[in-house]
């Protein structure tokens, strides 16, 4: 028998954005290879996380996904859904809302800012650094800040089995991005969820705070988004201009419904400037980073591939984003030829 450590993680009931919560369960096992069925449900005090009242405070954690945790010997990260004591999904359980379909693939582009004492790394105590321009995908002292954190986070994600497909310094100094790919709405959002958790945990060691506000610095500075690339089997294998046009048009009448679940304070980011479309307008176009939906330049060559929804904010809930996109794509009606 050996001692195995399982960090049960979930999202609390705070609004407008929830926070990560986690606690460790130690189990005596002969061996462990990622099986979900050996992990018990576990209760927690929902009155301390804005998920229950004190007079009836127990909420249940139900394990739904497991990832290796390289920071611990015999350690694992366990993604949990939150349930009420009667076994029904809690109102904060956004994962339960996804109409899952393994044919849907998602690639989330998570932008974030590393901050210290309330300022992005690289910002002076007073005033501002040199205007943005030289920082994007940059290298060198004074051009990038926090690379050691970014590299450690990348390794932690890869060790956990996450499909991180790339990282880069972003337009504002102290701002970074990584891309996280997954197949199926729930799996993709689980991976995104764990990648964010690991980012916060890595930053603990450095005394650095992760800021995922969509407009971390007011003024002529880029905001932070979580662009979402998506496709289903029909888009990848059947294709056709009519299909892609129908899908893009399906987003138009439900633009407000998407914005409602794409993160708070997104109006500060979606202004029509800094590679965004205005929050009150919807548009799509080939290679257009000022559109709501970008059609990648490679797609019209064969009219097969994926689309990029550029509206989700950096603080958006990936479960809500995936659920809403799946619903809209499935509603698209392709005209008969």
Tell me the CATH number of domain 105-331, given options 3.40.50.300, 2.60.120.10, 3.30.390.10, 3.30.590.10.
3.30.590.10
Supply the pLDDT for residue 291: 96
CA distances from 226 to 69, 76, 153 (A): 25, 26, 17
In whole angstroms, what is the distance from residue 175 CA to residue 113 CA?
Answer: 4
For the stretch 79-117, pLDDT in tens is 999 999 999 999 999 999 898 889 999 999 999 999 999
In whole angstroms, what is the distance from residue 5 CA to residue 238 CA?
Answer: 45
In whole angstroms, what is the distance from residue 275 CA to residue 281 CA?
Answer: 14
In whole angstroms, what is the distance from residue 200 CA to residue 305 CA?
Answer: 33
For the stretch 179-189, pLDDT in tens is 999 999 999 99
Neighbours of 22 (CB within 10 A): 14
Q: Are strands 284-286 and 164-169 parallel, antiparallel or unpaired?
A: unpaired
For the stretch 128-166, pLDDT in tens is 999 999 999 999 999 999 999 999 999 999 999 999 999
Q: How far apart are the first and last CA of the chain?
A: 64
Backbone φ and ψ for 183, nearest 5 degrees, come out as -105, 125
Q: What is the DSSP letter of 174?
A: T
| Domains in the chain: boundaries | 2-93, 105-331
**2-93: CATH topology:** Ubiquitin-like (UB roll) (3.10.20)
pLDDT at 337 over 70: no
Please state whether the peptide bond connecting residue 251 to the residue before it is cis, i.e. omega within 30 degrees of 0.
no
CA distances from 124 to 60, 85, 198, 213 (A): 45, 50, 28, 20
Backbone φ and ψ for 2, nearest 5 degrees, come out as -135, 160
Give the three-state DSSP class for 60: strand
In whole angstroms, what is the distance from residue 27 CA to residue 19 CA?
Answer: 26
Cβ atoms of 61 and 28 within 8 Å: the answer is no
In whole angstroms, what is the distance from residue 103 CA to residue 234 CA?
Answer: 9
Closest by Cα among 198, 200, 191 to 155: 198
For the stretch 208-255, pLDDT in tens is 999 999 999 999 999 999 999 999 999 999 999 999 999 999 999 999
Q: Are strands 293-295 and 284-286 parallel, antiparallel or unpaired?
A: parallel
In whole angstroms, what is the distance from residue 331 CA to residue 250 CA?
Answer: 7
Mean per-residue pLDDT of the chain = 96
Q: Are strands 75-83 and 2-11 parallel, antiparallel or unpaired?
A: parallel
Q: Are strands 105-116 and 175-183 parallel, antiparallel or unpaired?
A: antiparallel
In whole angstroms, what is the distance from residue 330 CA to residue 77 CA?
Answer: 32
Categorize the per-residue pLDDT at 333 as very low, low, confident or very high, splitting at 50, 70 and 90. confident
């Amino acid at each position: 028998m050996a001692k195995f450590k399982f960090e049960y993680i979930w999202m609390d009931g705070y609004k407008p954005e929830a926070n990560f919560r986690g606690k460790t369960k130690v189990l005596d096992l002969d061996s462990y290879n990622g099986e979900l069925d050996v992990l018990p449900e576990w209760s927690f005090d929902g009155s301390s996380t804005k998920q229950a009242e004190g007079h009836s405070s127990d909420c249940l954690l139900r394990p739904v996904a497991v990832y290796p945790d390289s920071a611990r010997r015999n350690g694992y990260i366990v993604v949990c859904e939150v349930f009420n004591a009667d076994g029904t999904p809690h109102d904060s359980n956004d994962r339960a809302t996804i109409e899952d379909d393994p044919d849907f693939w998602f690639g989330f582009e998570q932008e974030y800012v590393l901050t210290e004492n309330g300022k992005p790394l690289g910002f002076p105590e007073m005033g501002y650094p040199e205007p943005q321009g030289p920082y994007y995908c940059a290298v060198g002292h004074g051009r990038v800040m926090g690379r050691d954190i970014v590299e450690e986070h990348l390794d932690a994600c890869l060790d956990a089995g996450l499909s991180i497909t790339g990282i880069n310094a972003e337009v504002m100094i102290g701002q970074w991005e990584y891309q996280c790919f997954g197949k199926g709405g729930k799996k993709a959002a689980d991976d995104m969820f764990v990648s964010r958790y690991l980012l916060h945990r890595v930053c603990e060691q450095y005394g650095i705070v992760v800021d995922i506000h969509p407009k971390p610095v007011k003024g002529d500075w880029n905001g932070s988004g979580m662009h979402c690339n998506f496709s289903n089997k029909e888009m990848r294998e059947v294709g056709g201009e009519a299909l892609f046009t129908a899908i893009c048009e399906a987003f138009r009448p439900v633009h407000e419904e998407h914005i409602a679940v794409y993160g708070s304070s997104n109006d500060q980011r979606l202004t029509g400037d800094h590679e965004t479309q205005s929050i009150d307008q919807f548009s799509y176009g080939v290679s257009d980073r000022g559109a709501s939906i970008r059609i990648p330049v490679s797609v019209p060559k064969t009219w097969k591939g994926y689309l990029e929804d550029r509206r989700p904010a950096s603080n958006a809930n990936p479960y809500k984003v995936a659920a809403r996109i799946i619903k809209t794509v499935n509603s698209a009606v392709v005209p008969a030829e």
